[in-house]
Amino acid sequence: MLETRYRAARALPLATLPRPAASGASVSVRPAGAESRFSLRARLGGGAPTLAGLPLDAPINTVGTDGEVWIARLGPDEWLVGGPEADADLLQGRIHEALAGLPHALVDVSHRNVGIDVSGRQAAAVFNAGCPLDLSETAFPPGSATRTLLGKAEIVLIRAAAAPLYRVECWRSFSTYVHGFLNEAVFGAEGAVAP
C-alpha cells in the first residue's frame, strides 16, 4: 500500500492549508503540484552542453524551458532544474549524460523545494510587497530567474513565460510563510497600479 502511495502522491506541505489558493481581482496565488527538481552544480569550462535543447551557458539569472523542463541559471556554476514528477529518473539521466566528463554535482531537491504560482496583472506588485528587486518588464523580463528574498524568506523567483505568471520556489519549511506573505500581499497590492 505504501508502495502505491509513494508512486502516486506526495504529501505536499501546502496541500493541507484551509485556503491554499487566494485570488484578488487582478492576481491569483496558487501552490504548484508535485514536481521533480534538481540542484545542478557544474564547472562548464569551455564546453556549453545543452539540456532539453537549452544551453547551460545561458546568462546568469535567466531561465529557459521547453514547456516541460525548465532550467534556471542562478549563478556561475549553479542551476535549478525542474520537470514533471514522473520524469524524475529520466531527467536525472539526461543531465548526467549531458554533463558527462565535466565536474558536476546533481542533487535531488524535489522535496526540499515547494513551488507557488502567482499570476495576474498585479503579480509583480504582490512580489514587491517583500521582494526588493525591480520586477518591471525591462528589468525582469520573461526568461528571468533569480534567487532573492521575499520578506524574511529566501526564494527563487522564476518568470519563464511572457504572461504575468511567476513561479516562486522556496524551501519546504518556509512555504507556509511565503504562501501567507503572498496572500497578505494580495490585499496590500490591489489598487496600486504598476507603471
Partner 1 sequence: MLLIACPHCGKRPETEFRCGGQAHIARPADPMTVDDGAWSEHLFVRANPKGVHAERWCHVHGCGRWFNALRDTISDRFIETYPMGAKPTQFPQSETRA
Partner 2 sequence: MAQPFRLSRGGRIDRTRPIVFAFNGKPVHGFAGDTVASALLANGIHLVGRSFKYHRPRGILSHGPDEPSALLSVDRGPGRIDPNNRASVVEARSGLRTTSQNHWPSLEFDVGAVNDLLSPVFVAGFYYKTFMWPRKFWDKVYEPFIRAAAGLGKAPTVADPDRYANRHAHCDVLVVGAGPAGLAAALAAARTGKRVILADEGAEPGGSLLHDTTSQIDGRPAADWLAETLAELDARENVILLPRTTAFGYYNHNHVAMTERVTDHLTSAAGQAPRERLWQVRAEQVVLAGGAHERPLVFADNDRPGILLAESVRVFLNRYGVAPGRRLVFATCGASAYQAALDARAAGLDVTLVDLRLEADCGPELAQLRSAGAEVLTGHTVIGSKGRKRVTGLVVAPVGSDGRCGGRRLLACDCVGMSGGWTPAVHLFSQSRGKLRYDDAIDAFVPNISAQAERSAGAARGTYDLAACVNEGFSAGAAAAGSDERQEVRATPTLTGFQPVRIMPTDANPTKVRAFVDYQNDVTAKDIKLAVREGFQSIEHVKRYTTTGMATDQGKTSNMNALGIVAGQLDKALPAVGTTTFRPPYTPVTFGALVGPARHALFDPIRTTPIHEWAEAHGALFENVALWRRAWYFPKAGEDLHAAVARECKAVREGVGIFDASTLGKIEIVGRDAAEFMNRLYINPWTKLAPGRCRYGLMLKEDGYILDDGVVARVSDECFHVTTTTGGAARVLAHMEDYLQTEWPELEVFLTSTTEQWAVIALQGPKARDVIAPLVDGIDLSPEAFPHMAMRSGTICGVPTRLFRVSFTGELGFEINVPSDHARAVWEAVFAAGRAHGITPYGTETMHVLRAEKGYIIVGQETDGTVTPDDVGMAGMIPKAKGDFVGKRSLARPDVVASGRKQLVGLMTDDPKLVLDEGAQIVADTGQPIPMRMLGHVTSSYWSANCGRSIALALVEGGRERAGGHLHVTTPDGFTRVTVCEPVFFDTKGERINA
Interface residues with partner 1 (CB under 8 A) are: 60-61, 74-76, 78, 132-133, 146-149, 154
Longest dimension (CA), the chain: 54
Per-residue cell: 135: 520586477
- Pick from partner 2, partner 1, none: which does 148 bind, CB < 5 to 8 A by kind? partner 1
Of 21, 108, 147, 165, which one interacts with partner 2 (CB under 8 A)? 108
- Min dist CB 24 to partner 2, Å, is 9
39 binds partner 2 (CB under 8 A): yes
Which run of H or E residues covers position 84?
Answer: strand 78-84
Q: Judged by CB, which is closer to partner 2: 62, or 148?
A: 148
Place of cell 503579480: 123
Does 17 bind partner 2 (CB under 8 A)? Our answer is no
The set of cell numbers assigned to 101 is 566528463
Spatial strand order of the sheet with 165-171 comes to 22-23, 28-31, 113-119, 165-171, 153-159, 144-150, 62-65, 70-75, 78-84, 35-42, 104-108
17: cell is: 492549508
Out of 128, 143, 156, 157, the residue judged to bind partner 2 by CB under 8 A? 128
Nearer to partner 2, 66 or 86 (CB): 86
Please report whether residue 87 would count as binding partner 2 according to CB under 8 A.
Answer: no
By a kind-dependent CB cut-off of 5 to 8 A, residue 157 interacts, out of partner 2, partner 1, none, with none
